[in-house]
Structure 1
Amino acid sequence: MAQTIAPPATGTAAPAPLPLKAIAPWALFVGVLMLVLLYFIGAEQGATSVMSGSDVHEWVHDGRHLLGFPCH
């Protein structure tokens, strides 16, 4: 039985990490978006209401309960 020896694997360089300058704008955008969503789910009701009526409250009602925000 013949055995073949595989040639040694050539080392491949690991990809360079992303620079912080490339990630920072996206991280800021996602952070602001999450804060806006948290506001609409948690506080868009009553004295801090930005939109009149209860439409936003009704749209996110189940999410409020899921996240532990009291609403009634």
Structure 2
Amino acid sequence: MKLITLYLPEPYIEALDKLVSEKFYPNRAEAIRTAILDMIREELWTRKSMKAVRRKNGRRKSRRRRKIASKA
């Protein structure tokens, strides 16, 4: 693992501390790692699902992307 430093708003830290004190997570770092992993999975799953739907429907580019591409 690599160490990163980040600044969080006080309410985020308070919420993390509450989760730790209620034994949902062993510490702040584990809660943050879990949240990041969940976000990555959700974002990647959503993108992969959208690509699969577009392929199924024969749509590779959104209208907006086609419009932007045609202007270039």
**Both structures adopt the same fold (TM-score exceeding 0.5):** no
> Structure 2 length normalisation: TM-score?
0.36
Higher-helix-fraction structure: 2
Q: Which has the higher contact order (CA 8 A, sep 6+)?
A: 1
Larger-gyration structure (1/2) = 1
